[in-house]
Amino acid sequence: MSAPARGSLLVIGGSEDREDDMQILERFVQLCGGADRRIVVLTTASRVPEKMWAIYDAAFGGMGVARRSEVRVTSRLEANDASLADDVAQADGIFITGGDQKRLLALIGGTLLDQALHAALARGACIAGTSAGASAMSAHMLADGKAELHPEKGAVSLGAGLGFMQRVAIDQHFSQRQRLARLLTVVAQNPYLLGVGIDEDTALLIEAGGGIEILGAGAVTMIDGRHMVSNVADIRQRAVPEMVDVRLHLLPAGSRYGAQGDPATPAALADFLNIVTDIA
């Protein structure tokens, strides 16, 4: 459907610093090409878009981004407005705020605005999403669910996301909200998907050339269930599945792989990253 991306994705685990060092937001502006470029903030995931816009208006304004604007879409009719979509497709950076990823997709999934996001990425824009905006980035979107102590069959539901990444499920506020059991639940039932859990004030940057970098204060946890042996198909709802041979990778801020000059990627991680970085 989409051309291969020439842009980059910045997948942020929520609660990124917006007032002090703003490391992640500063990097976003750089990835857009600098403070003289045009950045739009998509507040649709939130029920209080004006509050979201006020936060990012101040943050990007403080960095000298003059051409910043909100895209406040609150209906599918607006999301199918051709001139708005064209405006978004031509932006240098698009920042998708937090809120509720189900709300975001219910309003923009399949619309001209959805297509415009892909067109912008293909053209070379940077698309950032935080919290709900991060979860929304994959084709299979972690939509809902709690699994507090252990993985639980049936505890988590998926939805159709924006589809910048194809074989990935993203969770956010990951260590802070102790969401490993929830992500293991996704992988137990959907071993086709690689689980990516992103901490608060932390981001996974996927560069156009296939490099990745972890930014910010925390870490990214990656769960690979492709080798897993499990009884999940046979147990009752809400039971705890047996999961044998789940592969886990923990990449703290500062980790970089896949671009020229980066450390050699360990074999067990290389295949995982090939899938994660296949963005469009």
Residue 270 backbone class (left: φ over 0; alpha: ψ -120 to 50; beta: rest): alpha
Closest by alpha carbon to 3, among 140, 128, 163, 118? 118
Question: In this chain, which of 251, 258, 276, 279 binds a second copy, going by CB under 8 A?
Answer: 251
| Residue whose entry in the numeric block shows the structure tokens 């997709």 | 105
Check if 83 is active-site: no
Question: In this chain, which of 48, 106, 250, 259 binds a second copy, going by CB under 8 A?
Answer: 250
Beta strand 202-206 with 212-216: parallel, antiparallel or unpaired?
Answer: antiparallel
| 21: number of Cβ within 10 Å | 11
Task: Tell whether residue 266 is a contact of a second copy (CB under 8 A).
Answer: yes
Question: In this chain, which of 150, 160, 275, 278 binds a second copy, going by CB under 8 A?
Answer: 150
Question: Which of the following is catalytic: 200, 213, 230, 249?
Answer: 200
Closest by alpha carbon to 168, among 256, 14, 278? 278
Question: In this chain, which of 42, 141, 198, 246 binds a second copy, going by CB under 8 A?
Answer: 246
Task: Tell whether residue 268 is a contact of a second copy (CB under 8 A).
Answer: yes
Question: In this chain, which of 20, 83, 149, 233 binds a second copy, going by CB under 8 A?
Answer: 149
Check if 131 is active-site: yes
Kindly indicate which of the ranges 29-37, 108-116, 164-172, 235-243 contains the residues binding a second copy, using the contact rule CB under 8 A. 235-243
Task: Tell whether residue 249 is a contact of a second copy (CB under 8 A).
Answer: yes
Residues 4, 6: Cα–Cα separation, whole Å: 7
Residues 150, 173: Cα–Cα separation, whole Å: 17
Check if 152 is active-site: no
Task: Tell whether residue 49 is a contact of a second copy (CB under 8 A).
Answer: no
Residues 78, 71: Cα–Cα separation, whole Å: 10
* Beta carbon of residue 136, minimum distance to a second copy (angstroms, whole number): 24
Closest by alpha carbon to 103, among 75, 139, 145? 75
* Beta carbon of residue 48, minimum distance to a second copy (angstroms, whole number): 28
Residue span 12-31 as binding mask against a second copy, x where in contact by CB under 8 A, dash where not: --------------------
* Beta carbon of residue 87, minimum distance to a second copy (angstroms, whole number): 40
Question: Which of the following is catalytic: 46, 131, 138, 175?
Answer: 131
Q: Total residues at the site for a second copy (CB under 8 A)?
A: 33
Q: Where are the beta strands (DSSP E) in 72-155?
A: 93-96, 126-130, 140-145
Closest by alpha carbon to 173, among 228, 118, 134? 134
Question: In this chain, which of 13, 151, 191, 195 binds a second copy, going by CB under 8 A?
Answer: 151
* Angle of helix 49-62 versus helix 23-32 axis, rounded to 10: 80
Task: Tell whether residue 110 is a contact of a second copy (CB under 8 A).
Answer: no
Instruction: Calculate the CA dihedral of residues 23, 24, 25, 30 and round it to 10 degrees.
Output: 90
* Beta carbon of residue 125, minimum distance to a second copy (angstroms, whole number): 30
Question: Judged by CB, which is closer to a second copy: 43, or 175?
Answer: 175
Give the residue numbers annotated as catalytic, written as ranges.
131, 173, 200
The binding site for a second copy (CB under 8 A) comprises 149-151, 175-176, 178, 180-181, 184, 199, 218-219, 227, 229, 239-253, 255, 266, 268-269
